[in-house]
């Protein structure tokens, strides 16, 4: 009998689908391709066949299951509440178990991304070749994607001169010299570490100015998003264990990356292999806070107390909802409350604010043409607002928004909400 452990775990989710097909309306990939294999209903049906032993893990099946942004728009709007994201990730995990990761992914996930030092080395190497590509103000998210996904004519972001982890101290005391209100672990995440170090420094500064002690454990690793969402649960689990260990002595773990916060929270959903892991991952989830929710829900800063930095005065801003915030963590009101309350800034809501930008992590490497088409719709929404700046809270989205704004010859600049405030 074939081993279907990973599929069995998601069988109950797959069974929820009643094939109504409403997902087609919400799926950014289906909206472009208009074929049934692109949409949740089709994917789910094939997974159900695989569970019955009527569908093999063919390369074609791999492509079908791979071609999902995991944006969760379908799941959020599903009348029968099918968690298709869990079905897709579970199916990927089963395929990785059966077939192993492809060479590129294998090399990238197991050898590079999960080894923080090697990751840094390869990035430096890549950095040395940056002159070959058009210079932009943006940045990139995942090194392996960078190595493999070079070209395609995209605007390749520059890497930071000095990585964040070479700049940070292990502990930052509150700047007012008082006894800390709480002790918070700062989770860097790859993008902030290697591409947006100033974002990390900004968050540390923001927190310590407000009486919080920030620790930056050196032992922290990649959150594992690209790894376990691709089905490599084994490496994912290894990263989970390392991160949990690295952050065991803090009240909260805060990150400026929407994907990281969501990924860390979701260890308990995807990765546990036994009850002990389930318990510990669930406990870890409770500590994780995205920067957007931390400042509002935990620090309880009234939105009107945020101060706009001078350079943004008189600007019009619009908010882009990262999938990992709005649908994975139900964070949508907090950033809007801040932006609306900032004196000197005008806020305009984007018609398709919750639409995926098309990045989807490694999705954009394998399906860059689709990414561009999906992003073009996002860009049309941004243009319709007449805003000067696009604000978000996920470096992954930022990279893609910058690339596509440039490609569409738009004047809008893209910022993390932390960059706007004092």
In angstroms, rounded to a whole number, what is the distance separating the alpha carbons of residues 218 and 267?
A: 20
In angstroms, rounded to a whole number, what is the distance separating the alpha carbons of residues 421 and 329?
A: 23
Of the residues 3, 5, 8, 20, which one makes contact with other proteins according to CB under 8 A: 20
Closest C-alpha to 81, from 18, 11, 38: 18
Kindly list the strands in the beta sheet with 182-187, ordered across the sheet, starting from the edge strand earlier in the chain: 171-172, 212-215, 182-187, 252-255, 288-290
Of the residues 9, 11, 16, 377, which one makes contact with other proteins according to CB under 8 A: 16
Q: Closest separation between CB of residue 327 and other proteins, Å?
A: 17
Q: Scanning residues 79 to 138, which ones bind other proteins (CB under 8 A)?
A: 79-81
Counts of helices then strands in the chain (DSSP H, E):
24, 9
Bridge partners for 289 per DSSP: 254
Q: Scanning residues 35 to 74, which ones bind other proteins (CB under 8 A)?
A: 35-37, 42, 45-46, 49, 55, 58, 60-61, 64
Q: Pick between residue 82 and residue 139 the one whose CB is nearest to other proteins.
A: 82
Q: Closest separation between CB of residue 332 and other proteins, Å?
A: 17
- Token pair recorded at residue 175: 């700047």
Q: Pick between residue 44 and residue 230 the one whose CB is nearest to other proteins.
A: 44
- Applying CB under 8 A, the span of 32-40, 98-106, 207-215, 240-248 interacting with other proteins comes to 32-40
Q: Closest separation between CB of residue 256 and other proteins, Å?
A: 33
Q: Pick between residue 24 and residue 278 the one whose CB is nearest to other proteins.
A: 24
Q: Pick between residue 36 and residue 98 the one whose CB is nearest to other proteins.
A: 36
Q: Pick between residue 79 and residue 170 the one whose CB is nearest to other proteins.
A: 79
- Applying CB under 8 A, the span of 13-21, 128-136, 187-195, 325-333 interacting with other proteins comes to 13-21
In angstroms, rounded to a whole number, what is the distance separating the alpha carbons of residues 421 and 160?
A: 22
Q: Pick between residue 34 and residue 245 the one whose CB is nearest to other proteins.
A: 34
In angstroms, rounded to a whole number, what is the distance separating the alpha carbons of residues 79 and 19?
A: 10
CB 416 within 8 A of CB 347: no
> 């690339």: which residue's tokens?
403
Q: Is 21 in the site for other proteins (CB under 8 A)?
A: yes
- Calculate the alpha carbon distances from 295 to 65, 107, 184, 235 in Å: 37, 38, 12, 32
In angstroms, rounded to a whole number, what is the distance separating the alpha carbons of residues 79 and 333?
A: 24
CB count, 10 Å around CB of 104?
Answer: 15
- Applying CB under 8 A, the span of 18-26, 96-104, 152-160, 220-228 interacting with other proteins comes to 18-26
Phi, psi of 252 (to 5 degrees): -140, 155
Q: Pick between residue 60 and residue 166 the one whose CB is nearest to other proteins.
A: 60
Q: Pick between residue 54 and residue 249 the one whose CB is nearest to other proteins.
A: 54
Q: Pick between residue 133 and residue 368 the one whose CB is nearest to other proteins.
A: 368
Q: Closest separation between CB of residue 79 and other proteins, Å?
A: 4
Phi, psi of 173 (to 5 degrees): -85, 160
Q: Closest separation between CB of residue 45 and other proteins, Å?
A: 6
Paired sense of beta strands 212-215 and 171-172, if any: antiparallel
What 3-state class would DSSP assign to 129?
coil
Q: Closest separation between CB of residue 142 and other proteins, Å?
A: 28
Binding positions for other proteins, rule: CB under 8 A: 16, 18-26, 34-37, 42, 45-46, 49, 55, 58, 60-61, 64, 79-81
């Amino acid at each position: 009998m074939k081993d279907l452990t990973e599929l069995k775990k998601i069988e109950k989710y797959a069974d929820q689908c009643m094939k109504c097909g409403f997902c087609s309306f919400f799926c950014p990939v289906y909206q472009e391709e208009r074929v049934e294999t692109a949409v949740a209903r089709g994917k789910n049906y094939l997974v159900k066949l695989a569970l019955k032993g009527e569908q093999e893990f063919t390369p074609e099946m791999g492509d079908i299951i791979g071609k999902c942004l995991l944006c969760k728009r379908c799941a959020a709007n599903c009348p029968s509440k099918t968690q298709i994201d869990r079905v897709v990730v579970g199916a990927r995990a089963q395929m990785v178990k059966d077939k192993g990761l492809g060479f590129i992914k294998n090399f990238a996930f197991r050898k590079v991304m999960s080894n923080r030092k090697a990751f840094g080395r390869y990035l430096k190497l890549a950095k040395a070749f940056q002159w070959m590509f058009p210079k932009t103000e943006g940045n990139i998210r995942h090194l392996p994607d960078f190595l493999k996904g070079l070209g395609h004519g995209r605007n390749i972001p520059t890497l930071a001169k000095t990585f964040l982890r070479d700049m940070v101290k292990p502990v930052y005391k509150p700047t007012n010299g008082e006894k800390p209100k709480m002790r918070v672990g700062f989770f860097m995440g790859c993008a902030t570490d290697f591409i947006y170090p100033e974002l990390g420094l900004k968050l540390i500064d923001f927190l310590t100015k407000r009486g919080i002690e920030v620790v930056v454990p050196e032992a922290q690793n990649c959150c594992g998003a690209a790894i376990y969402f691709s089905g490599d649960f084994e490496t994912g689990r290894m990263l989970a264990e390392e991160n949990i260990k690295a952050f065991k002595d803090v009240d909260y773990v805060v990150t400026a990356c929407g994907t990281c916060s969501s990924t860390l929270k979701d260890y308990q959903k995807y990765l546990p292999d036994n009850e002990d892991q389930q318990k510990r991952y669930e406990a870890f989830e409770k500590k994780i806070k995205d920067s957007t929710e931390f400042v509002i829900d935990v620090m309880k800063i009234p939105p009107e107390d945020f101060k706009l930095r001078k350079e943004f005065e008189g600007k019009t801003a619009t908010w882009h909802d990262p999938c990992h915030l709005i649908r994975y963590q139900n964070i949508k009101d907090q950033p809007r409350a801040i932006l609306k309350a900032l004196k000197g800034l005008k806020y305009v809501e984007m018609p398709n604010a919750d639409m995926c930008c098309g990045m989807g992590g490694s999705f954009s490497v394998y399906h860059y043409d689709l990414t561009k088409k999906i992003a073009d719709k996002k860009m049309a929404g941004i243009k319709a607002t007449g805003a000067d700046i696009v604000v978000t809270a996920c470096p992954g989205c930022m990279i893609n928004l910058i690339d596509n704004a440039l490609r569409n010859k738009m004047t809008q600049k893209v910022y993390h909400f932390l960059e706007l405030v004092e």
